[in-house]
Amino acid sequence: MTTAVPVLPTGGPQLVDVPAEDGVLLQGLLYPPPPEPVAAVLHVHGKGGNFYSGPPRTLPPLVAPDRFVHLALNLRCHDLAYSRLGDAAGIATGREAAYGGMWERLDDGPTDLRAGVSWLRERTGLPVFVVGHSAGGYFLGDWSPGPEEVAGRVFLSPLTSVRFPLSAWFTDDAALDRARAQAQQLVDRGDGHLLLPVPAWYFAISADSFLERLAERPGRWLDGCNASPVPLLLAWGGAETRAAAWRELFDRMTVPDRVCAELPGAGHEYGGQEAALAGEITRFVDARV
């Protein structure tokens, strides 16, 4: 059964505002809806990414645009740093706010995903599938949505722990302990938003965000994935250094309806393999609508 989408704008891709439940206004790109869509797909990026680069940009025109509504959404952790000042839409008069990967908070990710899903559900009445790339996939696992919210989950090379940069940033436990103490001092005095410099991508991190990563519970991502019964597709590139880890994690998933796909030769952004990846996602969605 198809559903008309009269409330969505037509024409070319359009920028849209998507309000989150905590008052933060997110922005996304809505692709032209087809006349009789059967599903809606929400695309989200990873840390430091955005809706106009990587899979959130390349996939919407390739994943059955004749049958699916596509929204590519900027999470508040988009890019590494940006500010919204003064009277910008969604910001109270005189308020100043800084967001981005350097200030990323773990609880914000699921909040932003819910906002995108709700926006699509309210305007289409269609089953919504979420495609999360890298850290977007971490948040999708962490969210653990129910089947009444999401019809399917697609994890593209998902980040499975936020502690992974620590070994690149700190050469030994003593250096890590010094950074931990400095971050704790900043948080204790109410300055958890201030940045600590680090020597590799993403070059700086807020004290609040740093302490959250240190305190991550082991197995948080996999436990979150398994806590939801929503069908899932786990995909990764065969040329990625974490390919073996994703194979092993897929074997430990307990969701009954799950499939995986390894794209030979593909890297983290799936350059040159976009059509093959789009085919895997299209087949996954078509089989569940």
As a whole number of angstroms, the distance between CA 156 and CA 45 comes to 10
Determine the pLDDT at residue 91. 53
| Count: domains in the chain | 2
The answer to whether residue 8 sits within a structural domain is no
Is residue 251 located within the same domain as residue 205?
Answer: no
Three-class SS state of 258: strand
* 78 and 106 co-located in one domain: yes
The verdict on 104 and 189 lying in the same domain is: no
Judgement on whether residues 50 and 172 belong to the same structural domain of the protein:
no
Same domain, 170 and 77: no
Task: Please check whether residues 81 and 143 belong to one and the same domain.
Answer: yes
The torsion angles phi and psi of 104, rounded to 5 degrees, stand at: -55, 130
Q: Does the residue 2 lie in any domain?
A: no
Q: 183 with 213: CB under 8 angstroms?
A: no
**Could you tell me the residue range of the domain that residue 182 belongs to?**
163-215
Tokens found for residue 211? 């302490």
Any domain includes 70: yes
Is the residue at 26 inside a domain?
A: yes
Q: Is residue 1 part of a domain?
A: no
Query: Which of 135, 84, 78 is CA-nearest to residue 103?
Result: 78
Question: Which amino acid, residue 110?
Answer: P
Q: Which of 196, 215, 234 is the last residue of a domain?
A: 215
In this structure, is residue 5 part of a structural domain? no
Say if residue 150 is in the same domain as residue 264: yes
Residue 199: inside a domain: yes
* pLDDT for the residue numbered 213: 96
Separation CA 15–CA 27 (nearest Å): 7
CA–CA gap between residue 50 and residue 228 (Å, rounded) = 26
Say if residue 148 is in the same domain as residue 224: yes
Q: In sequence order, which residues have a C-beta less than 8 Å from that of residue 76 and are 6 or more positions away?
A: 20, 24, 26, 99, 100, 104, 108, 112
Return the closest-CA partner of residue 153 out of 231, 220, 222.
231
Asked whether residue 280 is domain-assigned, the answer is yes
The residue among 194, 215, 236 that closes a domain is 215
- Within this chain, do residues 247 and 157 fall inside the same structural domain, yes or no? yes
Q: pTM for the complete prediction?
A: 0.93
> Could you say which DSSP state residue 36 is in?
S
pLDDT at 87: 55
Closest CA to 133 of 213, 208, 41, 219: 41
Residue among 131, 122, 125 at smallest CA distance from 45: 131
**Are 171 and 282 found together in one domain?**
no
Regarding whether 44 and 110 lie in a shared domain, the answer is yes
- Helix 135-143 crosses helix 220-227 at what angle (to 10 degrees)? 50
| Tens of each residue's pLDDT in the chain, 289 residues | 444 444 666 667 999 999 999 988 999 999 999 999 999 999 999 999 999 999 999 999 999 999 999 999 999 999 999 886 655 555 555 455 678 999 999 999 999 999 999 999 999 999 999 999 999 999 999 999 999 999 999 999 999 999 999 999 998 999 999 999 999 999 999 999 999 999 998 899 999 999 999 999 999 999 999 999 999 999 999 999 999 999 999 999 999 999 999 999 999 999 999 999 999 999 999 999 9
CATH number of the domain that residue 149 is part of = 3.40.50.1820
Tokens of 65: 């645009």
Same domain membership, residue 189 and residue 101: no
